[in-house]
Amino acid sequence: MKKDNLKVVIAGGGSTYTPGIVQAMISSRGKFPFTSLTLYDIDESRNDDMYQIIDYMLEKESLTKEVSLTETTQPEVAFSEADFIFSQLRVGGMKMREVDEKIPMKYGLVGQETCGLGGFSYGLRSIKGLLEIVSYVEQYAPNAWLLNYTNPETLVSEAVRRAFPNVKMLNACDMTISIEETIATNYGYNRKNWIPVYYGLNHFGWYSSIYDKSVDRDILPEILERLEKERLHVADFNAGDDTWQEAWDMMRLMTKNFPGYLPNNYLEYYLYPNRTIEHTDPSYTRANIVMDGREKKTKEMARKIRAKEKGEILDFNFGEHGQYIMDMAASILNDQHDRFMLIVPNQGAIPNLRDDAMVEVPAYVGRSGAEPISLRFAINDFHKGLMEAQNAAEKLLVDAYFEHSYQKALQAFTLNQTVYSADPAKQILDDFIEANGNYWPELN
Ligand code: NAD
Ligand code: G6P
Ligand code: MN
């Protein structure tokens, strides 16, 4: 593997998250010396907006000579000679996210980007898009590392595991880091001292301990105690975002009613669907909030740059999101063996769960990739039961994708832990088939 002059590709270059990743890359150039950055997207206009923003950022940092920036919609141009690929596609865009969120709500069920039936609708679109990226990597850059943020993580990583078992790929989610950062800043900890143990499926897991090196003990019990008494406020990077305040409030409710563990906030959709439905406006969901917020802000930045406006133009803050994936790449490059939460085949990591489940657990990352830890304890029946049902539903959905099976899709929809009856499962599946059109595989 090359140690410098790295070529990095961002697949889904037009993503609103790209500036945060590039900012982290710029500040990490010492340990991650890249000289070429390519934005690859199927949407030329989104990609060009981002090209303007990134070019502006590089100019501000006086890096335009050292880093060559390319935008392209051609896979061969993008992936040839790549060393690292960061992928963050949203197949169907925010418009289809809106559909994913709104259709289940019409039938009184949770409508969410990655959880529930909205997540399953997104999954069948996303698998197709991501498998395409992996096939380009295999064809044009077989030695490159692919670091993936594309959602829904468990579904896409399960599909890649089946179709491309040997690809050099890490699947990651920023949620654990964002939970940790929010707790640390609220309660005055430094999470750099933490060695957390966490297990689950993606957006479906629990912390069982958080060892703090500065005091040499597990501080999870004291964090849980504080959560009971003190409200958790959104950290700076989510400032003003009411959706996240609701999520932290729901997380506190879960720790109160199911003590002893810190749950991923996304479990609210499975444990309290009734409450999340109550606080969601079915005609203005998260997709609308993001389109009217982050997406508009991004377009506005590109407009101002094209118009050569003066003053403060850059306007984004994604917290640790960009740094997290950047740190993974550096940990591979420099064989650092830093620890991250990753989505990996279980293979005994959670001893009493099936080996071929895609689970999210801590893993050390070095030159040869991820080395997940084994928990060395059996998880309890409550967590195990929830995970097994959800995992079976996800496996069935991926089966449906590869086998073009309507029956498997219906089983998956019915088993999804947000669904109480096969009636809405079937109605929603049929609505999604129509709404997704060619984005979905044909189901017979
Ligand atoms: P976005 O819509 O702003 O950007 C996604 C980009 O992907 C768009 O520019 C789109 O044109 C492009 N795209 C769509 N299909 C493509 C394809 N087949 N090939 C190449 N490009 C394609 O979305 P966003 O809000 O920035 O999110 C991007 C992705 O990252 C989503 O999957 C989202 O769920 C995920 N995400 C994951 C995490 C995590 O922790 N894992 C965190 C944030 C976002
Ligand atoms: C967190 C999750 C991601 C998810 C994102 C949604 O970062 O880990 O998986 O995509 O939130 O954020 P948004 O602002 O698009 O609703
Ligand atoms: Mn996530």
Ligand 3 is an ion; its neighbours by CB within 5 Å are 173, 175
Check if 324 has its Cβ closer than 6 Å to any atom of ligand 1.
no
279 in any annotated domain = no
Average pLDDT, the chain: 97
User: How many Cβ atoms are within 10 Å of 258's Cβ, its own excluded?
Assistant: 14
Check if 286 has its Cβ closer than 6 Å to any atom of ligand 2.
yes
Is 97 labeled as ligand-binding? Answer: yes
- Which one is catalytic: 41, 49, 100, 174? 174
Closest ligand 2 atom to Cα of 178? 7
Closest of 147, 131, 130 to residue 86, by C-alpha: 147
21 in any annotated domain = no
Is 90 labeled as ligand-binding? Answer: no
- How far is residue 137's CA from residue 351's CA, in Å, rounded to a whole number? 33
Check if 287 has its Cβ closer than 6 Å to any atom of ligand 2.
no
Check if 295 has its Cβ closer than 6 Å to any atom of ligand 2.
no
Give the three-state DSSP class for 44.
Answer: helix
Left (φ > 0), alpha (ψ -120 to 50) or beta: where does 188 sit?
A: left
pLDDT exceeds cutoff 90 at 319: no
Closest of 194, 192, 176 to residue 321, by C-alpha: 176
- Across the range 268-291, mean pLDDT stands at 96
410 in any annotated domain = yes
Check if 174 has its Cβ closer than 6 Å to any atom of ligand 2.
yes
Pairing of strands 145-148, 84-87: parallel
At which residue do the structure tokens 């620890």 appear? Answer: 339
Q: pLDDT per residue over 404-441, tens digit each?
A: 999 999 999 999 999 999 999 999 999 999 999 999 99
Please report the DSSP string for 237-303 in residue order.
Answer: GGTT-HHHHHHHHHHHHHHHHSTTSEE-GGGHHHH-HHHHHHTSBTTB-HHHHHIIIIIHHHHHHHH
* CA 12 to ligand 1 center in whole angstroms: 6
pLDDT exceeds cutoff 90 at 193: yes
Q: pLDDT per residue over 117-152, tens digit each?
A: 999 999 999 999 999 999 999 999 999 999 999 999
- Which one is catalytic: 261, 266, 269, 324? 266
Ligand nearest to the CA of 112: 2
Task: Please report the pLDDT score of residue 238 as a whole number.
Answer: 86
Please report the DSSP string for 326-341 in residue order.
Answer: HHHHHHHHTT--EEEE
Give the Cα-Cα-Cα angle 257, 262, 266 (nearest 5 degrees): 85
Domain that holds residue 423: 381-435
Q: pLDDT per residue over 242-274, tens digit each?
A: 899 999 999 999 999 999 999 999 999 999 999
- How far is residue 271's CA from residue 274's CA, in Å, rounded to a whole number? 9
Q: CB–CB of 230/186 below 8 Å?
A: yes
Task: Please report the pLDDT score of residue 257 as a whole number.
Answer: 97
* CA 178 to ligand 2 center in whole angstroms: 10
Q: CB–CB of 146/87 below 8 Å?
A: yes
Q: How confident is the model at residue 377 (pLDDT cuts 50, 70, 90)?
A: very high
For the chain, percent of residues with pLDDT exceeding 70: 100
Q: CB–CB of 5/68 below 8 Å?
A: no
Tokens of 437: 């059109």
Q: Which residues contact 106 (CB under 8 A, 6 or more apart)?
A: 282, 431
pLDDT exceeds cutoff 90 at 328: yes
**Which of 122, 148, 151, 178 for a ligand 2 pocket mutation test, highest count of atoms within 8 Å of Cβ?**
151
**Which of 90, 95, 318 for a ligand 1 pocket mutation test, highest count of atoms within 8 Å of Cβ?**
90
Tokens of 335: 């064989």
Task: Please report the pLDDT score of residue 239 as a whole number.
Answer: 86
Taking CA atoms only, the protein residue closest to ligand 2 atom 5 is: 175
Is 286 labeled as ligand-binding? Answer: yes
Q: Cα dihedral angle (74, 95, 130, 407), rounded to 10 degrees?
A: -140
387 in any annotated domain = yes
398 in any annotated domain = yes
33 in any annotated domain = no
Give the Cα-Cα-Cα angle 186, 190, 191 (nearest 5 degrees): 95
Check if 349 has its Cβ closer than 6 Å to any atom of ligand 1.
no
pTM for this model (two decimals): 0.97
Closest ligand 2 atom to Cα of 175? 8
- How far is residue 118's CA from residue 112's CA, in Å, rounded to a whole number? 5
- Across the range 224-252, mean pLDDT stands at 93
Instruction: Please confirm, yes or no, whether 174 is among the known catalytic residues.
Output: yes
Task: Please report the pLDDT score of residue 1 as a whole number.
Answer: 85
- Domain total of the chain: 1
405 in any annotated domain = yes
428 in any annotated domain = yes
